Amino acid sequence: MALPRTGRVGIVTDTARTGRLSEPTRIGSARPSGLVTTAGVGAVVDLPSMSVIVRGLNTWSPEHADVITEPRLLREVQSVLGDQVRALRKAPWDPSTADEPWARTGVPVSPFPRWVRCPRCYRLGPLDPPGQFTLVHRWGRRPDLAKWVHSYCDRQAHTSDGRKRPCLPARFLVTCPVGHLDDFPYVEFVHHGKACAAPKLAMSDSASTLGPRVTIRCAECGDSRNIQEAAGQEGYRHLPGCRGRHPHLQRFEECGRPSKLTVLGSSNLWFSVTASALHLPQSLTIADVVEANWNVLASQTDRAVVGVLVDSMDQLRALRAYPLDEVWAAIEGLRAGGGPRPPDPTGGLLDAEWQLLARPTSDRQDDDFRAVPTPSPDGYEALLDQVVQVNRLREVRAVVGFTRLVAPERRDLAPTNRLPLTIGTPEWVPAVEQRGEGVFLQLREDRIATWEGTVADHPRIEALRRAYGRWAANRDQTPDPAFPIPRYVLLHTFSHLLIRQIALECGYSSASLRERLYLGQPGRRAAGILLSTASSDSEGTLGGLVALGAARHLQRLLDLSFEEARRCSSDPLCAEHVPHDPSDQLHGAACHACLFASETSCEANNRWLDRAVLVDLTGDGLALSR
């Protein structure tokens, strides 16, 4: 059936019923937002009966992907990937082909890992060459039930309805420090690197609390080996060097680094590198509109063609209010000036948002942004400068790459281990727009600055600073000397306390709440928190969060948050935790029982948290007095 654009988009695989590369076939669906946050290019996605990897952008169909207009974010992406990036696009979706089982439109994927295991005879083998395992596809309304079955299973692994049971993806993979990902080298491993005329492998396992108790046997030569030999810090000694494989691009490159055993479904196999921006209302001139749509208008050399585009493209509807002569003059003027102006190197996406949220006005509001200041709750006037209820907001997020094993740092769009989205240079990147609501809390800068100076040399802050150095050294990175550790820990901890408390009352799960922290730049610091929730639906959310910004509700939430921060079910271990050498943990008194939030909520992967900066846990003078 046809799928709504705000619902799910099709997943299509390049392997047809025969196992040969052929016409793509639909085998599942995914949420558009997931293609940016959890299941984007290069990610391994679990479907009901198989596992697949999302292919590179060079295999997508951009002609069926609508453009998202957000000039500020596009310029940020261009500063990272290059000026050849001309558009932010939604996931490909074509309603005219949504019902077709062999529809080309969708998100291309390939089966990965390429090794599977029969659940009855335990035969372990690759999908290539075809023949040993067969793809069984159920056409029509349940394409997600596509599965691989063992063609020659002597135990006839049938279900109650007579169909064969699906083969299971072999759950072991190997990766390397720079992010290459590959199937586990079963043949080389079980034979200790020696040749075998016709390897015929089987995998058996048993329950154990001491590590993986999985045995690989070869029925042809009798060799066997336990997978545990490849586990642990020294496991790489029993594995061949990395082949440099990028399965999402279907190519190899020179590598040879030590391989590391990992398992299918590991949370560190894919971290998105994303840039996000809030929509900021402003009075647009015709030149601003032309600049925002320069990716479409730059190549136009005929005035009449421009007129046709303006009349026919919804993306250019803002230009219909101007005479064609003025539109053409604006295009020629921008072309003569060398194109759109480069972004301001002294500012950033968050700086412009801070300026608007900290000083909301009625003349800078539109259908995608509405913010109203509201009184601060009683008893918190010394801590909070102002509270702003954001009744309407629009956020656009674009993915510029991804990493494996190590998550990127906060707002770092160019980590050293970032992997590409496509072969060559991308001309567009996937993006998603969401509309919702939020509450903005601006803390008093004088209080924060005074406290920041007081605790700059505090032992707990120094311990975090030294751990930051070890953390960066362990990842071949250089710590940022200008990073304001005390300020960030304070804002981040405050944000997590509120997220956990608000989730109990606002009607949204904690995983659907997101934080956005504003620290400013060196020399012009800021101190603000935006807690928001959003939906890909054009109507946004229901108002449960913004209502809690009212003084009578927010006061109760703050009281409960600070009270909860005083205790943790893991105390005293949690309260006394400080990272000591050789630990590179970037948190103090924080754990899953008191402060940690879901990955979709936290912008720093649960780093830089410490309850001791807000409540007095150890009597050492670190906590900010309210």
The pLDDT tens digits for 326-350 are 889 888 888 887 777 655 444 478 8
pLDDT at 309: 87
What's the whole-number mean pLDDT along residues 452-475?
Answer: 93
Distance CA 282, CA 196 (A): 69
- Domain assignment present for 186: yes
Neighbours of 473 (CB within 10 A): 12
In percent, how much of the chain has pLDDT > 70? 88
CA distance 312 to 309: 5
Classify each residue of 321-352 as buried b or exposed e, where b means 16 or more C-beta atoms within 10 Å of its C-beta. Answer: ebeeeebbbbbeebeeeeebeebeeeebbbeb
Would you say residue 545 lies in a domain? yes
Using the CB atoms, write b or e for 481-504: b if 16+ within 10 Å. eeebbbbbbbbbbbbbbbbbbbbe
Q: How confident is the model at residue 205 (pLDDT cuts 50, 70, 90)?
A: confident
391/429 same-domain check: yes
Examine the fold and report which residue of 152, 169, 186 is the final residue of a domain before the chain moves on.
169
215 and 133 fall within a common domain? no
Residue 38 belongs to a domain: yes
Number of domains forming the structure of the chain: 3
Range of lowest pLDDT (180-184, 233-237, 255-259, 382-386): 233-237
Provide the 8-state DSSP code for 93.
Answer: -
From 108, 138, 169, the end of a domain falls on 169
Task: Give a yes or no: residue 251 inside a domain.
Answer: yes
Lowest mean pLDDT segment, chosen from 90-99, 134-143, 463-472, 542-551? 90-99
The CA distance from 245 to 82, in Å, is: 25
Looking at residues 423-430, what average pLDDT do you find?
92
What's the mean pLDDT in 385-395? 92
Tabulate helix, strand, coil % of the chain (nearest 5): 25, 25, 50
**Model pLDDT, residue 423:** 93
What per-residue confidence (pLDDT) applies to 21?
43
Place of tokens 């596809």: 137
- Say whether both 561 and 587 belong to one domain: yes
Task: Check whether residue 162 and residue 245 sit in a common domain.
Answer: no
Which residue type, as a one-letter code, is found at position 64? H
How many angstroms separate the CA atoms of 220 and 227, rounded?
A: 19
As a whole number, the mean pLDDT across the chain is 84
Query: What confidence tier does 421 reach under pLDDT thresholds 50, 70, 90?
Result: very high
Contact 36, 566 (CB under 8 A): no
Q: What is the mean pLDDT of residues 445-472?
A: 94
243 pLDDT band (50/70/90 cuts)?
very high
Q: Which structure tokens are listed for 141?
A: 């309304």
pLDDT band at 620 (very low <50, low <70, confident <90, very high): confident
- Of 169, 190, 207, the position where a domain reaches its end is 169
pLDDT at residue 208 above 90? Answer: no
Instruction: Name residues whose C-beta falls within 8 Å of residue 524's C-beta, 6 or more positions apart in sequence.
Output: none
Q: Is residue 188's pLDDT more than 70? A: yes
| Confidence category of residue 488, pLDDT binned at 50, 70, 90 | very high
Average pLDDT over residues 85-94: 83
Give CA separation, 551 vs 50, 241, 377, in Å: 50, 60, 4
Whole-angstrom distance, CA of residue 312 vs CA of residue 335? 23
Are residues 520 and 384 part of one domain?
yes
The mean pLDDT of 533-561, rounded to a whole number, is: 81
Answer yes or no: is 619 within a domain: no
Whether residue 613 has pLDDT greater than 60? yes
Mean pLDDT of 314-335: 84
pTM for the model: 0.82
- Asked if residue 296 has pLDDT above 70, the reply is yes
Q: What is the mean pLDDT of residues 82-87?
A: 89
Q: Residue 339 falls within a domain, yes or no?
A: no
Residue 103 has pLDDT above 60, yes or no: no
3-state secondary structure of 232: coil
What CA–CA distance (Å, rounded) separates 20 from 399? 31
Residue 282, pLDDT score: 67
Which domain, by its residues, includes 16?
A: 9-67+100-169
Report the amino acid identity of residue 481.
P
Q: How far apart are CA 531 and CA 494, in angstroms?
A: 11
Overall average pLDDT of the 374-390 stretch:
92
Range scoring the smallest mean pLDDT among 220-234, 276-290, 438-452, 519-533: 276-290
Residue 449: the pLDDT is 94
Cα 285–290–291 angle (5° rounding)? 95
How remote is the C-alpha of 275 from its chain's centroid? 10
Residue 537 has pLDDT above 80, yes or no: no
**Residue 345 forms part of a structural domain:** no
Averaged pLDDT, 592-606: 90
pLDDT computed for residue 246 by the predictor: 95
pLDDT band at 2 (very low <50, low <70, confident <90, very high): very low
**Confidence (pLDDT) at 10:** 58
Residues 153 and 176 in one domain: no
Three-class HEC string of 5-69: CCCCEEEEEEECCCCCEEEEEEEEEECCCHHHHCCCCCCEEECCCCEEEECCHHHCCHHHCCEEC
Do 446 and 568 reside in the same domain of the chain? yes
Query: 417 φ, ψ to 5°?
Result: -100, 20
**Does the pLDDT of residue 181 top 60, yes or no?**
yes
User: And the tokens for 371?
Assistant: 């913010």
Mean pLDDT of 435-464: 94
Residue 241 counted as domain residue:
yes
Residue 7, pLDDT above cutoff 50:
no
pLDDT of residue 322: 86
Q: Among 25-39, 484-498, 588-602, whose mean pLDDT is lowest?
A: 25-39
Q: pLDDT at position 155, please? A: 72
626/624 Cα distance (integer angstroms): 6
Q: Whole-angstrom Cα distance, residue 604 to residue 116?
A: 36
Kindly report which listed range (142-146, 553-557, 587-591, 613-617) carries the lowest average pLDDT score.
Answer: 142-146
Pair (422, 478) in one structural domain: yes
Same domain as 51, residue 192: no
Q: What is the pLDDT of residue 62?
A: 81
Per-residue pLDDT, 490: 96
What CA dihedral angle connects 501, 507, 511 and 513, to 10 degrees? -70
Neighbours of 614 (CB within 10 A): 22
Same domain flag for 415 and 463: yes
Q: Which of 99-108, 357-366, 399-408 has the lowest mean pLDDT?
A: 99-108
Residue 535 has pLDDT above 70, yes or no: yes
The confidence band for 136, taking pLDDT boundaries of 50, 70 and 90, is: confident
Instruction: Name the pLDDT band for 510 (thresholds 50, 70, 90).
Output: confident
**End-to-end Cα distance, the chain:** 56
Same-domain check for residues 240 and 372: no
Closest-CA residue to 27 (of 94, 87, 110, 95): 110
Checking if the pLDDT of 180 tops 90, the result is yes
**Does residue 105 sit in the same domain as residue 137?**
yes
Q: For residues 25 and 143, is the Cβ–Cβ distance under 8 A?
A: yes
Question: What local confidence, expressed as pLDDT, does residue 1 receive?
Answer: 26
Instruction: Check: CB of residue 260 under 8 Å from CB of residue 174.
Output: yes
- Asked if pLDDT for residue 247 goes beyond 90, the answer is yes
Which region among 132-136, 142-146, 307-311, 481-485 has the lowest average model confidence (pLDDT)? 142-146
